[in-house]
Amino acid sequence: MKKNILVTGGAGYIGSMLVTKLIAEKHNVTILDNFEYTKDSLNHLYFHKNFKVIEGDVRDKSLIKKLILNQNFIIPLAALVGAPLCEKNKKKAIDVNFNSILTILRNVKKDQKIIFPTSNSGYGIGEKNKYCDENSPLNPISLYGRTKADAETEILKHKNSVCYRLATVFGYSYRMRTDLLVNNFVLNAVRKKKLTIFEPHFRRNFIHVNDIVNAMIFTINNFQKLKANVFNLGLSSANISKLMLAQKIKKYVKNLKIQIVHNKKDPDQRDYFVSNKKIEKKGFKARISLEQGINEMVEIFSRSKTEIKNNY
């Protein structure tokens, strides 16, 4: 059934891929974006009559109030993403990542549905031999993690909502990012034939951007059995350390040198493995392997010399 769907940040890394799929599924999609990083990520969609673009800012309260009207689903993706960017722009991070969510919640009707992707960065530093699940205490270290965790708390007060704590995303997007860990490691491996790694034992969970898109479609189609819940969303076979990731990449990039630096700290002190069993039991499982994503990125970075504007 066709739905009216508003996606804020719809021109971004996840947004451009999600909106493409929603259009293909024949939904009526409105996106709000300020096009800060690229104007081109949605060029392939303007042909479609079920696609509408509003160039604007999620901090514009009157605009948000107007756009929410008559939407069946609201998917708030607009955010300052990542610890370094949020530390650099603290007030903007709070306004965009948290206060804009409050604006949506003040104007949303009870029967309107919200799907909110947040970050599993809220887990901070996990226990060494234990997986973080949805009942694990949130201990966000960065301002980014705090804004997303606080927004999740508020969203869940709206019972017609589903929140996803996303693993670190990888893979190609129409609005490409090379600051994300897998994408960044592969880019440096291909271009420099060298990876310099600090705190190599730090653990992360990962997920391909297309699996996030598929999870969103699954959520729209199965909303009643998922609502009023928070789920970890990652690839269960991709709970690995930074060093393990580098070693996987080495299989695809000949002559890659891996150098470990012992006297440098990661500004985002996240270190955890994550359980994704809760969403898997509901019927969705991420399936695109790290190896597929690494191979994808190697092929792209080996052929394309396009300079990519990142968040930081």
Residue at 125 is within a domain:
yes
Is residue 292, in this structure, part of any structural domain at all? Answer: no
Which pLDDT tens digit goes with each residue over 292-309? 999 999 999 999 887 888
- Interior angle at CA 19, CA 18 and CA 24, nearest 5: 100
User: pLDDT, tens digit, for every residue of 116-172?
Assistant: 999 888 888 777 778 999 999 988 888 999 999 999 999 999 999 999 999 999 999
CATH of the domain at 151: 3.40.50.720
Residue 63 in any domain: the answer is yes
Provide the terminal-to-terminal Cα distance of the chain, rounded to the nearest Å: 39
Residues for the chain: how many in total? 312
Q: What's the pLDDT score for residue 267?
A: 61
Rounded to whole angstroms, the Cα distance separating 142 from 86 reads 8
Which pLDDT score is estimated for 309? 83
Parent domain of 127: 4-170+205-233
Domain contains 300? no
- For 123-191, the DSSP string reads G-B--TT-EE-TTSPP---SHHHHHHHHHHHHHTTSSSEEEEEEPEEES--SS--S-SHHHHHHHHHHH
Q: How far apart are CA 194 and CA 250, in angstroms?
A: 10
d(CA 204, CA 195): 17
In a domain, 229, yes or no: yes
In this prediction, residue 126 carries a pLDDT of 78
Is 47 contained in some domain? Answer: yes
Report the DSSP beta bridge partners of residue 196.
259
Q: What is the pTM of this model?
A: 0.96
What residue ranges of the chain have pLDDT lower than 50? none
Per-residue pLDDT at 47? 97
Question: Would 95 be classed as within a structural domain?
Answer: yes
Tell which phi-psi region holds residue 154, choosing left (phi > 0), alpha (psi between -120 and 50) or beta.
Answer: alpha
Query: What are the φ and ψ backbone dihedral angles of 115, each rounded to 5 degrees?
Result: -115, 115
109 contact partners, CB below 8 Å, separation of at least 6: none
Task: Report the alpha-carbon distance of residue 120 to residue 206 in Å, rounded.
Answer: 10
Nearest by Cα to 291 from 235, 218, 243:
235
Count of domains forming the chain: 1
142 lies in some domain: yes
